[in-house]
C-alpha cells in the first residue's frame, strides 16, 4: 500500500504533525490512520515526536517517499542524542523533552503551538515546540501555548476526529486556536532559545565564557545542571552575593514558587530561567569558581544533579569542598524526606537508561 496523497514535509516539522496532516489529506482521522499504517502498534499511545521504532519506520517508509533515515530525522531522537553520551532509552524521560501524558489520551504538557503560525496557509507543528527551551515563536515574538483557551484542554491534535479535520481546531471543543490570545515573549529568552535551536538542529555553536569546553554536550548539560542549582540556592541568604556578583535578577523566583523539573515547568517559569541561565553563561568561569569557593559551596550541593555529563560542572566541582557525611555534627537536623514525585520519576528513568 502507498499513501494516495502525501503532504510535503516541512524541514522543521515533527513526525506526529506530518502523520496528522497525512491522515487528514487522505480523508481519515489520525487514530484510524495509525491503525491502517501499523495495525497493532498503538501509535496514539506513543510519543511519535520522540522516537519511532525501526520496524515502524521501515513499514512507514514502504508506504511513502521518505526513507527510514528521513523518518527518524523527523523525531527528536537524533538531536537529543547529541547532548548525552549514552544511548537514549525510548522508555525513559529525556532531558529537555517536554513529556506527554502516560496514556496518550490527554497530554500533561506536551505539544505547544504558536497561534499565529497555525494561521499559515499550510499549518503544521514544529519539532522545536516539544523542546523545553522553546518558550516563544521567533517569527511572531509571542509565547507558545499548550491549552485551548476555551475548554482548557491540553492541545492534542492527534485526537482530532474526521468531522473536524483541521490541525488548528481544538480536538475537544472545536475552538479555532488561531484566535487564541497570548502575550509577547521576552526578547532575551527568545535570543537564547534560538542560539540553542541552532546548536541542536544545525550544530552551530556559540561559545560562552562560563563553559569549560565549547561542546554541545557541555552547553546543554550545564544548563540542565545549573537550573536545579538555582532552584536550590535562591532562598539561602548567603547566595545573594552569588546572584548579585553575576548580575542575576532573581526577583521572579522570590515572588512565584517554581515547582517541577525544567521539562514540566510552565512557559513563564521556563522563560525566566532561560533568561537567568543566559546571563549566567556570560560570566567568566574563573569568577564563578572563586564565588563558589568563597561561599563554601559543597560539591554535593553544586553537582547533585546530572553533573557527570557536563565538563563545566565537573571542572567547577573539582575545586569545591567535598562533603563528608561522617562530619555532620547533628544528624537529627537532617531528617530523611521522601523525594518529590518528579525527582523519583527522573531517578527511575535514569535507572532505566542503565539497564
Q: Which of 65, 173, 328, 351 binds Zn ion (CB under 5 A)?
A: 173
Q: How far is the CB of 280 from Zn ion (least distance, A)?
A: 28
Q: Which is closer to Zn ion, CB of 139 or CB of 340?
A: 139
Binding mask 137-156 for Zn ion (x = CB under 5 A): x-xx-------x-xx-----
Q: Distance between CA 135 and CA 141 in Å, rounded?
A: 10
Mark residues 308-327: x for contact with Zn ion by CB under 5 A, - for none. --------------------
CB closer to Zn ion, 38 vs 162: 162
Ramachandran sector of residue 247 (left: φ over 0; alpha: ψ -120 to 50; beta: rest): left
Residues with Cβ within 8 Å of residue 215, at least 6 apart in sequence: 205, 311
Question: Which CB atom, from 78 or from 101, has the smaller least distance to Zn ion?
Answer: 101
Q: Say whether residue 219 binds Zn ion (CB under 5 A).
A: no
CA distances from 229 to 141, 216, 235 (A): 29, 20, 11
Which window, 169-177, 248-256, 258-266, 305-313, contacts Zn ion (CB under 5 A)? Answer: 169-177
List Cβ neighbours of 208 (8 Å cut-off, separation of 6 or more): 214, 219, 281, 282
- The number of CA neighbours under 13 Å toward the Cβ of 25 is 16
Residue 73 Cβ vs Zn ion, minimum distance, rounded to whole Å: 22
Cα–Cα distance, 21 to 33 (Å, whole number): 10
Q: How far is CA 228 from the centre of its chain?
A: 15
Q: Report the residue number, 137 or 314, with the smaller CB distance to Zn ion.
A: 137
Binding to Zn ion in span 324-353, by CB under 5 A: none
Q: Give the torsion sign (CA, 301, 306, 309, 310).
A: negative
Residues 78-137 that bind Zn ion (CB under 5 A): 114, 116-117, 137
Q: Which is nearer to Zn ion, 115 or 231 (CB)?
A: 115
Q: How many residues at the interface with Zn ion, by CB under 5 A?
A: 13
Question: In terms of residues, how long is the chain?
Answer: 355
Return the range that interacts with Zn ion (CB under 5 A); candidates 46-54, 155-163, 170-178, 266-274: 170-178
Report, in angstroms and rounded to the nearest whole number, the Rg of the chain calculated over CA atoms: 22
| Interaction site with Zn ion (CB under 5 A) | 114, 116-117, 137, 139-140, 148, 150-151, 170, 172-173, 175
Amino acid at each position: 500500500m502507498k499513501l494516495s496523497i502525501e503532504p510535503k514535509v516541512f524541514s522543521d516539522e515533527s513526525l506526529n504533525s506530518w502523520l496528522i496532516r497525512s491522515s487528514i489529506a487522505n480523508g481519515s482521522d489520525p487514530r484510524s490512520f495509525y491503525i491502517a499504517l501499523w495495525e497493532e502498534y498503538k501509535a496514539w499511545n506513543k510519543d511519535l515526536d520522540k522516537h519511532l521504532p525501526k520496524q515502524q519506520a521501515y513499514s512507514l517508509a514502504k508506504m511513502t517517499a521518505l526513507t527510514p533515515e528521513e523518518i527518524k530525522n523527523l523525531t527528536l531522537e537524533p538531536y537529543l542524542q547529541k547532548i548525552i553520551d549514552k544511548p537514549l532509552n525510548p522508555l525513559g524521560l529525556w532531558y529537555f523533552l517536554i513529556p506527554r501524558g502516560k496514556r496518550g489520551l490527554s497530554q500533561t504538557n506536551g505539544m505547544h503551538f504558536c497561534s499565529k503560525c497555525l494561521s499559515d496557509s499550510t499549518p503544521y507543528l514544529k519539532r522545536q515546540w516539544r523542546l523545553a527551551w522553546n518558550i516563544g515563536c521567533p517569527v511572531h515574538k509571542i509565547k507558545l501555548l499548550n491549552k485551548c483557551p476555551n475548554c482548557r484542554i491540553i492541545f492534542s491534535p492527534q485526537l482530532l476526529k474526521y468531522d473536524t479535520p483541521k490541525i488548528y481546531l481544538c480536538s475537544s471543543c472545536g475552538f479555532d486556536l488561531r484566535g487564541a490570545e497570548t502575550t509577547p515573549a521576552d526578547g532575551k529568552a527568545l535570543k537564547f532559545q534560538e542560539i540553542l535551536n541552532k546548536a541542536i538542529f544545525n550544530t552551530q555553536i556559540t561559545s560562552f565564557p562560563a563553559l569549560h569546553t565549547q561542546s554541545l554536550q557541555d552547553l546543554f548539560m550545564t544548563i540542565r545542571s545549573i537550573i536545579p542549582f538555582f532552584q536550590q540556592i535562591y532562598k539561602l541568604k548567603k547566595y545573594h552575593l552569588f546572584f548579585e556578583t553575576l548580575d542575576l535578577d532573581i526577583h521572579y523566583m522570590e515572588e512565584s514558587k517554581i515547582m517541577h523539573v525544567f521539562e514540566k515547568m510552565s512557559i513563564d517559569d521556563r522563560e525566566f530561567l532561560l533568561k537567568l541561565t543566559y546571563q549566567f553563561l556570560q560570566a567568566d568561569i574563573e569568577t564563578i569558581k572563586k564565588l563558589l569557593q568563597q561561599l563554601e559551596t559543597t560539591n554535593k550541593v553544586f553537582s547533585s544533579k546530572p553533573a557527570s555529563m557536563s565538563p563545566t560542572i565537573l571542572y567547577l566541582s573539582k575545586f569545591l569542598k567535598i562533603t563528608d557525611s561522617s562530619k555532620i555534627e547533628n544528624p537529627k537536623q537532617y531528617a530523611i524526606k521522601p523525594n518529590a514525585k518528579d525527582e523519583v520519576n527522573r531517578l527511575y528513568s535514569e535507572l532505566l537508561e542503565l539497564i
